[in-house]
Amino acid sequence: MAYKETFEDHLAQLERSVEELEQGSLTLDQALSSFEKGVKHAARCQKLLKAAENKIELLLKGPDGSAVFEPFAPDEEAS
């Protein structure tokens, strides 16, 4: 079974990038690389949060307004 990266994985990587940048000891190239990685992890976190929000909406809204569960099929943007 393939390992699926989680929101927490990406958040931890983002926090590491921030810590590296805050230390101020990186060269310009290293800082740019760390910043780029941080931006990518932040974007992935946003996509995963949006997917979770969409799933919650599916769980909460049924056709008649009652709580209904429907399988979540992420769109292209959320994957």
Distance (Å) of CA 33 to CA 6, 23, 37 = 22, 15, 6
Is residue 12 domain-resident? Answer: yes
- Are 14 and 41 contacting, i.e. CB atoms less than 8 angstroms apart? yes
Is residue 30 domain-resident? Answer: yes
Quote the number of domains for the chain.
Answer: 1
- Structural domain including 28 reads 7-72
Residue 78's pLDDT band, with cuts at 50, 70 and 90, is very low
Cβ neighbors of 41 (< 8 A, separation 6 or more) are 10, 11, 13, 14, 17
Is residue 77 domain-resident? Answer: no
Is residue 39 domain-resident? Answer: yes
Question: What average pLDDT does this structure show over 12-26?
Answer: 96
Is residue 2 domain-resident? Answer: no
Is residue 1 domain-resident? Answer: no
22-76 pLDDT, tens digit each = 999 999 999 999 999 999 999 999 999 999 888 887 777 766 767 666 666 666 5
Closest CA to 46 of 15, 77, 74: 77
